[in-house]
Amino acid sequence: MNNFEFYCPTRIVFGKGSISKLPEFIDKSKKILVTYGGGSIKKNGVYDQVKKALEGYNYLEFGGIEPNPKYETLMQAVDIVKREGIDFLLSVGGGSTLDGTKFIAAASKYEGQKDAYDYFMKDQNPVTEALPLADVITLPATGSEMNNGAVISRISTNEKLAFQWEALYPSFSIIDPEVTYSLPEKQTINGIVDTFVHVMEQFCTYDVNSPLQDDWALAILRTLIKEAPKVLAKPDDYEARANIFWCATCGLNYWISLGVPQDWATHMIGHELTAFYGIDHGQSLAIVEPRLLRNQKVAKSKKLAKLAREVFCINEPVDLKAADIAIDKIEAFFNSIGMKTRLSDYDIDASEAASKIRDRFRERNTVLGEKGVINADTAYDIILAS
């Protein structure tokens, strides 16, 4: 096991009826900006529950944060925060709304000359101060509710970049699995794939003798595979929804990543597919992951073989053969829940996409993966095979 440091001060409030507990965790003296996305919270009852819980509070609203939240949109919220003297942000929505709210929290305290996207996302200057933020999370996917990271896009430059600082942890996150009953099936599926790939990025590297972390990672995969068909068959299956949501949170709250190497190449390549072609984050991961694993099969064979045996119960003693089976099984799982795994499924030309991403990675000298062996040319091969 490698050395590690861990710190996560986010309070999790999980379960049925949790939204009504909001007043326990926000001081009445705060002036709140409630942030949300495209308005689905107004259809599924979440907005009404939040409104009821915030009776007697002083708050404004900012809607319209997009999937893959855009810098251009978020800066409008920053203007409101500064103009109105907002001192608490409450994100109500999925991971995109929450990621966007993290950016608002950082940018609201930033007074420098450079624009905030370049300052924080491109130059990676530390966020030493941020507005306090919390969330009612409505989509099991990004794990943003229990981590300090966010991914922010910029329309004008086709960029999608991540940042991660301690000041960005939500002070609390309310998770009521009931709010996911009404999710469009596509979002449920995207979230399951996103969670699955988060776990893969942290588990599927090379062995550092970390049996507990490995077993915990595989436990999330086993649970996802078991519970996914249940939520698709019966969207209001509370138990299955609760298990899927807790998997999503634990898929990226760092618990499985402590002391182990991490990959994240699938995400980095996937982000480019989303930036260039606008496909969903989960869709991009489902396309890249099987091809990336096949490309890196030898380096990852020990972990892939473990996954084959302990998740898919495959009795294959030869690691490389077991690894092959694991990759096939992963793609088959994605397909089985209705997730497509080929660029051609979205009418994207693989050759063009591969070239675009290669050029961008060359320009940025991008090197990815747990051992830094995935460069622009490797990414080209992976996308071409997709």
Least distance from a second copy to the Cβ atom of residue 208, Å: 9
Closest CA relative to residue 233, chosen from 79, 336, 82: 336
Which of 99, 194, 227, 319 touches a second copy (CB under 8 A)?
A: 227
Q: Which of 136, 139, 189, 220 binds a second copy (CB under 8 A)?
A: 220
CA distance 22 to 20: 6
What is the separation of C-alpha 333 from the centre of its chain, rounded to a whole number of angstroms? 19
Which segment (82-90, 196-204, 207-215, 377-385) binds a second copy by CB under 8 A?
207-215
Alpha-carbon distance 380 to 296, whole Å? 14
Q: Which of 22, 247, 279, 374 binds a second copy (CB under 8 A)?
A: 247
Q: How far is the CB of 380 from a second copy (least distance, A)?
A: 37
Check residue 219 for interaction with a second copy (CB under 8 A).
yes
The residue within the footprint of a second copy, chosen from 206, 255, 277, 346 (CB under 8 A), is: 255
Listed ranges 4-12, 102-110, 122-130, 360-368: which one lies at the site for a second copy (CB under 8 A): 4-12
The secondary structure of 10-36 as a DSSP string is PEEEESTTGGGGGGGTS-TT-EEEEE-
CB 2 within 8 A of CB 205: no
Segment lying near a second copy (by CB under 8 A), choices 116-124, 130-138, 195-203, 204-212: 204-212
Q: Shortest approach of a second copy to residue 334 CB, angstroms? A: 20
Kindly tell me which residue out of 68, 83, 243, 269 binds a second copy, with binding defined by CB under 8 A: 243
34 dihedral zone (left: phi>0; alpha: psi -120 to 50; beta)? beta
> By rule CB under 8 A, what count of residues binds a second copy?
39
- Residue closer to a second copy, measured from CB, 21 or 122: 21
Nearer to a second copy, 8 or 299 (CB): 8
CB-neighbour burial class of residue 182 (10 A; exposed 0-12, middle 13-18, buried 19+): middle
Q: Name which of 15 and 63 has its Cβ closer to a second copy.
A: 15
Q: 303-333: buried (b, 16+ CB within 10 Å) or exposed (e) per residue?
A: bbbbbbbebbeeebeebeebbbbbbebbbeb
189 binds a second copy (CB under 8 A): no
117 is an interface residue for a second copy by CB under 8 A: no
Q: Which one of residues 144, 147, 210, 283 is an interface residue with a second copy (CB under 8 A)? A: 210
From 254, 141, 131, 116, select the one nearest 196 (Cα to Cα): 141
The helix (run of H) or strand (run of E) holding residue 73 is: helix 71-84
Q: Which is nearer to a second copy, 11 or 321 (CB)?
A: 11
Q: For residue 252, state whether it binds a second copy (rule: CB under 8 A).
A: no
Our CB check for a second copy shows the closer of 86 and 175 to be 175
According to CB under 8 A, which one of 44, 125, 182, 223 is a site residue for a second copy? 223
Instruction: Find out whether 133 and 175 touch, Cβ atoms under 8 Å.
Output: no
Site string for a second copy, 12-41 (x = CB under 8 A): xxxxxxx-----------------------
CB nearer to a second copy: give 16 or 186: 16
209 lines the binding site for a second copy (CB under 8 A) = yes
Smallest gap from residue 92 Cβ to a second copy (A):
19
Q: How far apart are the first and last CA of the chain?
A: 34
Which residue number, 67 or 170, has a Cβ lying nearer to a second copy?
A: 170
C-alpha span between 286 and 379 (Å, rounded)? 15
Alpha carbon distances (Å) from 262 to 1, 175, 186, 200: 13, 27, 28, 9
The torsion defined by the Cα of 178, 184, 189 and 191, in degrees rounded to 10, comes to -60
Contacting positions for a second copy (CB under 8 A): 1-18, 209-212, 215-216, 219-220, 222-223, 226-227, 239, 242-243, 246-247, 250, 255, 258-259
